[in-house]
Amino acid sequence: MADNEQLVLANSRSWIWSWFSWSGSSETMLRAAEKKILSSLKSVYRGWYVDVGSCVGTSDKIWTISLNEDSQKTPIVMLHGLGAGVALWCLNLDSLSAERPVYAIDLLGFGRSSRPKFSSNAEEAESQLVKSVEEWRREMQLDKFVLLGHSMGGFLAASYAINYPDRVKHLVLADPWGFPEKPSDASAKYNLPFWVKAIAFVVQPLNPLWAVRLAGPFGQKVIETFRPDIVKKYTCLLKEDSNYIFQYIHQCNSQVPSGESAFHAMMHGFGWAKNPIIKRIDKMKEDIPITILYGSRSWVANSAGDTIKKLRSNSYVNVQIISGAGHHVYADKTDIFNKYVLEACSLSDKIDKLTSKHSPQTPKTIQIKKQWLPIDSKSEDEDDDNQRNNNKESNNHDDQKTCPVLHKKS
């Protein structure tokens, strides 16, 4: 009997090992790719695991990097989007940490953090992720901070601000996912072909990035083929090492899809959330200032920004649409993005209670024809004269791609 149990255990371990070998997953490669990318920083940083206890699993740990911890100014805490990790903030870290502490974390279930099994219930999965951020804050002994989240990270940042309002000095949302409700005529609106609807129906039970893992060791090639534009965003900083971005993204998403499964539980079709923030924005304390930074060429609908301004008429809400930027607004227009984030921080430092009277004039919302694919298209880097002309009507941002100003290591 004991021999049979050992044989079953051995076979189980063999299957698991074979799966990881096929998927091309390697914690060592993930660590090496992250280290190579972050070596481009001019500022000194440190990385370590923060033990958050039994948040979801039995002993969860959140990978954390920090810069300029000695500064006494209000820190910035950064939450990445789906399929990402701390290294993808490399274009922003030097600038944002020049005068204040910055902490970037791999959300639980992503990157180098623990990968526990989340609930399949949308509200519970969201609650688990938000609770893990709060447990991290408690372990870090941070009082108040500027909370910055991109895409899914923006969704979780808003949820955190609703649940833990006394901790958020300023909420900065970078092209946030999960805010508007899903339109009832979504399929008709996007005019999807029948075959696309059929494929979408078949893969609906699967996690969003299943294809990367299915491709096994060729997963990185899949990313390179379908998203060559990603590396272009980082070439100005990483130069000949920019291909490490592909390796990093592959390694982030070839492991157990723990956080990705939580996202799958929360989503209502890729582009929307089952429990959208707009339906509960009224529960957020009135005195929490919000800055929202949209990309003019993003697939994320920016109309939610105007809705939030109307629903929070007495609160500070600054909505900016950055010309020429896609969904990855922090990487597409780095200098402009950093400028807005630092202005939000500085304003909150100077004025303790920001209200609607401090809000800038609402910019014109740019209506963009959305694509059916829930990703930034390759056309982000192509010329589109009509689009650019429309963008110029709503703002005067420089449309030229630039690298951030870098600061020397101390």
d(CA 335, CA 343): 12
Helix (H, G, I), strand (E, B) or coil at 126: helix
Question: pLDDT digit string (tens) for 344-382?
Answer: 999 999 999 999 999 887 544 444 333 333 333 333 443
At residue 177, the pLDDT reads 96
Using alpha carbons, select from 18, 17, 15, 24 the residue that is nearest to residue 222: 24
Strands (E), 268-398: 290-295, 317-322
d(CA 4, CA 375): 48
Per the listing, tokens 């930034």 go with 376
d(CA 121, CA 102): 32
Cα 208 from chain centre: 15
At residue 362, the pLDDT reads 55
d(CA 208, CA 260): 7
Using alpha carbons, select from 117, 108, 63 the residue that is nearest to residue 86: 63
Cβ atoms of 173 and 79 within 8 Å: the answer is: no
At residue 209, the pLDDT reads 63
Cα 290 from chain centre: 17
Percent of the chain with pLDDT over 70: 73
d(CA 300, CA 211): 22
At residue 255, the pLDDT reads 85
Cβ atoms of 324 and 368 within 8 Å: the answer is: no
Question: Which residues make beta-bridge pairs with 145?
Answer: 168
If 0-12 CB within 10 Å is exposed, 13-18 middle and 19+ buried, where does residue 323 land? Answer: buried
d(CA 227, CA 263): 21
Provide the angle, in degrees to the nearest 10, between the axes of the packed helices 27-38 and 244-253.
Answer: 140
At residue 184, the pLDDT reads 76
At residue 371, the pLDDT reads 36
At residue 1, the pLDDT reads 46
Task: Name residues of the chain where pLDDT drops below 70.
Answer: 1-25, 185-216, 218-220, 362-410
Using alpha carbons, select from 313, 326, 296 the residue that is nearest to residue 391: 296
Helix (H, G, I), strand (E, B) or coil at 289: coil
pTM of the model: 0.81
At residue 385, the pLDDT reads 40
Residue 31 tokens, joined: 């660590």
Full set of structural domains in the chain with CATH: 26-188+256-394 (3.40.50.1820)
Using alpha carbons, select from 208, 253, 249, 213 the residue that is nearest to residue 231: 249
Question: pLDDT digit string (tens) for 107-136?
Answer: 999 999 999 999 999 999 999 999 999 999
d(CA 404, CA 61): 31
Question: Which residues make beta-bridge pairs with 50?
Answer: 62
d(CA 365, CA 105): 32
DSSP per-residue codes, 171-220: EEEES-SS-SPPPTTHHHHHT--HHHHHHHHHHTTS-TTHHHHHTGGGHH
